A and B are shown apart, each in its own frame.
Chain A
Amino acid sequence: MTPSTDVAAGLETDALLDDPEIRIVVCCGSGGVGKTTTAAALGVRAAERGRKVVVLTIDPARRLAQSMGIDRLDNIPRRVEDIEGDGELHAMMLDMKRTFDETVEAHTDAERARAILDNPFYQSLSAGFAGTQEYMAMEKLGQLRARDEWDLIIVDTPPSRSALDFLDAPKRLGSFLDGKFIRLLIAPAKIGGRAGMKFLNVGMSMMTGTLGKLLGGQFLRDVQTFVAAMDSMFGGFRTRADATYKLLQAPGTAFLVVATPERDALREAAYFVERLAAEEMPLAGLVLNRVHGSEAARLSEERALAAAENLESVGIVDQAAGKAGLGDPADPVAATSPETPESPLSPEHGNEPSTHEPPQQEPHEHDRTSDTPAPHGRGDKSSDPSGPPTHTEADRHDTPATDTASVQVSVEVSVEQLTAGLLRLHAERMQVVAREQHTRDSFTTLHPEVLVTEVAALPGDVHDLAGLRAVGELLATGSASTPAGAS
């Protein structure tokens, strides 16, 4: 793990989860950074520390739901089995339409509710267009909080185009439902062109005329019917949107911004931090997810590469043996298909023999992990001049067959080659570590006040409660200075 050098203080995850004053934790961040997994892991940890927790996920991967022992999450909190200790964990997944329907049913009489639910416009709206998901997530959060059944609600945020959407969407919908435009739309339904309302009607007919032309009369009538039926609820929508917004500003709420140590994700995180401050919403800290470290960090990238070169120049002597042992891709008549797909293996060994390829061409001496190794790694990349010239269209389209390579490997790798490989691997890791540290430093420079906890990159996905527990452990210990490297 990278020594967290100039970070002022770490985020005390356990203290946050244990704090009885904290009733809501919101996990936010851009797409693909592991928000949902983080939310679930926090839920497991909080529950196992004795709290009664509900996790509201928005769009969990199937495997994640299964990892909590629930085959399909739905709009009802389900208790997660096998939680250790006295706490409880419940998990649910937001069902937008269901939540919207319930909201309608709860706030109007049965007849009106039916009229609304049957309206085609409503049906499209509730099925999830712009902002509905965000609005309903906040609505659901408000409902859960109002029930007061849980000590702690952990909420995931929708996978928006921007991490900020869920803050804006409810306001937008709320202000629309309260707005002038909608008043105008419902006007005809209410006043029906009564005399004395001429003034309004002129404006109105211009409006509806235009919209009618644009959208078609039926559509507009659907909207009008919908709006008229919703009329009784407008106040309520606005009020609840405001209430939820205030709830988010309350001291009982803590925001965790989740990001990976990559430029885009951290840029988004920085925006978010700023936005939360502007909205006076309480930020607990940053969860830096999938951080790489190395326990051999004292061996620098440069030294590792130099050492690898040393060994390889020795190794060239017994190169022949090494290559035979590896089922060398450079051997064009090898049993495998021309592109030797998955001898993912050993670019060095693979390539050395093909003399026209500069053998020690430092795969990543400068920055780029990418330029050299990729083509080597998979001989199919048409770029590889050492490969036999068999790049047909088909080759490219096929995924390399999976297991051909391991077949004839009889592992006669010289210790030099092996060690050189380990060193190159280490160099690559150090490069990643340095890059992540750099990205992270730029964030820290901007926002030194933000507390951080790091979660080491795991080689695979989380599949079960034990996996979530492990992530929870990392979340709790990630602010300590030197946990073990990625495991």
Chain B
Amino acid sequence: MSRFQVVSGKGGTGKTTVAAALALALATEGRRTLLVEVEGRQGIAQLFETDALPYEERRIAVAPGGGEVHALAIDAERALLDYLQMFYKLGSAGRALKKLGAIDFATTIAPGVRDVLLTGKACEAVRRKDKQGSFVYDYVIMDAPPTGRITRFLNVNDEVAGLARIGPIHNQAQAVMRVLKSPETAVHLVTLLEEMPVQETADGIAELRAAELPVGRVVVNMVRPHLLDEDALRTASGGRRKEIAKALTRAGVTGSAGLVRPLVTQAAEHAQRVGLEREQRAVLAGLGLPMAELPLMGEGVGLSALHELAEEFRKQGVGDETADAAGQTPRGGRPRGSGRGVGS
């Protein structure tokens, strides 16, 4: 499985949660993962119930088997100053640039520079090795911008490489693009079983493919339980209301007569929903991508729910294929990192 896992999805589909659960799931068996955030919302900190993340990598959770999840909120401005420092030893000149508004310009206005910095920082983490030559992180998981912007976000380096035709930004952009377009990367799209998110997912996949970016899985999130058989429901809405009323009374429900109609109505709504979900499932199946499904977490997602979702990912084999995929991934114990070169 690819070492750089990018998680996108329509707004409201829970991509941050999915990214976090994935980071946990991939951290089992002593692996180390890095979960990165690029939109400055501090969604990861909220999920893991920790303080706001600074611009520095820190451990935020442990996974079963001694794995670790680290997190980083990438800040474009800091990343830019890092680069300047790295390339030019700028020091105080960096502050001068900031005062002039140059940093602001570069990180918020200049086309694409911001995105280059964000993806660049993430790719740096993907490629980083320790002194022994092992990868510092087995996986880097990115909570990426939403589906509508993901292709542009990832592909911006191409554009920037074209705009800035020489210089470090150009080189950086090209290096990032090599990682992003390689099998080293997988872009997952999170959706719900609803029409608009599914449509957007289909569109997003088409865009990613057109840009030759590697599409990973479709993750169906917040899947609700199917509690009742539709055919049974059809019967229910038919002639069995009196029987149902009697059954309710037998079960100790008082005033059952008035309840039958609303109960049957709710069931009909449920059936309609199930039907719509089935249609959307068929559409998703037609996309021909591997899928994963996560259940709806009733009480909202906190730390314990995250672990449950991670477990769900593992049950569905997300992360195993990893190990199977050409032995690319390290397995087992503490010594992290496979030491496999990936090159960029």
Contact = CB atoms under 8 A, between A and B. Distances in A.
B232 A374 contact: no
Contacts, number: 330
A439 B101 CA distance: 41
Instruction: Bin chain A's interface residue count.
Output: 35 or more
B244 interface: yes
A429 B224 CA distance: 12
Contacts of A306: 252
Given A159-B146, A370-B297, A485-B262, A129 B101 contact: no
Interface in A125-150: 125, 127-131
Contacts of B261: 295
B196 interface: yes
B92 interface: no
Contact of B282 (A128, A399, A429): A399
Given A299-B259, A370-B308, A173 B109 contact: yes
B111 A213 contact: no
A129 B112 contact: yes
B326 interface: no
Contacts of B167: 212-217, 219
Given A306-B252, A371-B308, A130 B109 contact: yes
Nearest to B149: A159
B82 interface: no
Interface residues of B, number: 106
B263 A364 contact: no
A459 B273 contact: yes
B210 interface: no
B109 A419 contact: no
A422 B228 contact: yes
Interface of B: 10-13, 39-41, 83-84, 87-88, 90, 93, 97, 100-102, 104-105, 108-112, 114-115, 145-146, 148, 152, 156, 159, 163-170, 194-197, 199-200, 223-232, 234-236, 240, 243-244, 246-248, 250-253, 255, 259, 261-267, 269-270, 272-274, 276, 278, 281-282, 284-285, 290-293, 295-300, 305, 308, 312, 315-317, 321
18 contacts: A63-B196, A129-B115, A210-B84, A296-B263, A299-B259, A307-B253, A311-B250, A344-B226, A345-B229, A363-B225, A371-B295, A373-B295, A377-B223, A396-B292, A399-B285, A411-B231, A415-B244, A485-B266
Interface of A: 30-33, 59, 61-63, 120-121, 124-125, 127-131, 159, 161-162, 172-173, 176, 179-182, 184, 206-207, 210-219, 222-223, 260, 262-263, 265, 294-296, 298-299, 303-304, 306-308, 310-311, 314, 326, 342-347, 349, 363-364, 367-374, 376-378, 381-383, 393, 396-400, 402-403, 406, 409, 411, 413, 415-426, 428-429, 431-432, 435, 439, 459-461, 485-487
